[in-house]
């Protein structure tokens, strides 16, 4: 089994990532794909991929960080995309959720950063790993602009949420789908209209990928354990 989206590059693991990786391998996990959300965490993901043969990296700027990039960010992403063991551009996308730390990042900026990274993915022929939250309509509209170029290996939507029509559109465009431990949480997450435990049933098995988004979204019954 492969974890196609985790954040061993995050602060939560700075003291024990080696232990966590070894424990996961011992439990039977074969490969881990570590995803970046900024230049810094993307570089860290590449470092981990260089250090462990069972780790690969996905690099990119998360939409929530679209207002924090500095000039030349795109050149850095382009360079990282060419490194060995980098297997995707992510997590990239659109996110209209209002975070406690700084609310919603300017959608225009999010779009600019997302589009540039879609272009980098196409140029380097490596798939996208898309993060979307409450922004399904705009994500579909943006990706549709690149429909013909994305046909061969579009990539995947990570931590999928939304509703059935949205899921169908994403599947029709050739994307794979990842769900996380939050499919075990009861009730609806704020702003959602379809329970994840229902939605997951409509994703065909041959289009599903396994992911954790660790250190986040621990499934029930382990959710609040340390
Ligand atoms: Zn995400
Ligand atoms: Zn993530």
Which of 53, 11, 57 is closest to 35 using CA atoms?
57
3-class secondary-structure state, position 150: helix
Q: Is residue 37 exposed (0-12), middle (13-18) or buried (19+ Cβ within 10 Å)? A: buried
Which ligand has the shortest distance to the CA of 58? 2
What CA–CA distances, in Å, run from 97 to 26, 102, 189, 219? 37, 10, 11, 21
Expressed in angstroms and rounded, the spacing between residue 148 Cα and the centre of ligand 2 is: 27
Q: Is the pTM of this model over 0.75?
A: yes
Which of 92, 83, 95, 94 is closest to 55 using CA atoms?
83
Which ligand has the shortest distance to the CA of 45? 2
What confidence score (pLDDT) does residue 81 get?
Answer: 98
Per-residue pLDDT of 210-221, as tens digits, reads 999 999 988 888
Per-residue pLDDT of 93-137, as tens digits, reads 999 999 888 899 999 999 999 999 999 999 999 999 999 999 999
| Residue 16 structure tokens | 């024990």
Per-residue pLDDT of 38-97, as tens digits, reads 999 999 999 999 999 999 999 999 999 999 999 999 999 999 999 999 999 999 999 999
Which ligand has the shortest distance to the CA of 215? 2
What is the CB neighbour count within 10 angstroms for residue 160? Answer: 25
Which ligand has the shortest distance to the CA of 93? 1
Helices and strands in the chain: count of H runs, count of E runs: 8, 8
Expressed in angstroms and rounded, the spacing between residue 215 Cα and the centre of ligand 2 is: 9
Expressed in angstroms and rounded, the spacing between residue 126 Cα and the centre of ligand 1 is: 18
CB 130 within 8 A of CB 74: no
Expressed in angstroms and rounded, the spacing between residue 131 Cα and the centre of ligand 1 is: 5
């Amino acid at each position: 089994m492969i974890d196609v989206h985790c954040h061993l590059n995050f602060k939560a693991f700075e003291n024990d990532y080696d232990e966590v990786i070894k424990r996961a391998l011992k439990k039977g996990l074969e490969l881990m794909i570590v995803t970046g959300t900024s230049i810094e965490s993307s570089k860290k993901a590449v470092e981990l991929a260089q250090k462990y043969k069972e780790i690969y990296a996905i690099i990119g700027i998360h939409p929530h960080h679209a207002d924090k990039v500095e000039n030349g960010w795109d050149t850095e992403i382009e360079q990282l995309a060419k490194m060995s063991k980098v297997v995707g551009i992510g997590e990239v996308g659109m996110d209209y959720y209002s975070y406690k730390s700084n609310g919603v990042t300017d959608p225009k900026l999010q779009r600019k950063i997302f589009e540039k990274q879609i272009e980098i993915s196409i140029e380097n022929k490596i798939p996208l790993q898309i993060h979307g939250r409450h922004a399904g309509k705009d994500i579909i509209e943006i990706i549709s602009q690149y429909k013909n170029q994305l046909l061969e290996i579009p990539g995947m939507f990570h931590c999928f949420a939304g509703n059935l029509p949205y899921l169908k559109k994403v599947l029709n465009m050739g994307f794979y789908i990842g769900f996380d431990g939050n499919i075990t949480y009861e009730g609806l997450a704020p702003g959602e209209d379809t329970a994840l435990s229902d939605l997951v049933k409509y994703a065909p098995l041959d289009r599903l990928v396994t992911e954790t988004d660790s250190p986040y979204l621990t499934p029930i019954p382990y959710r609040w354990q340390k």
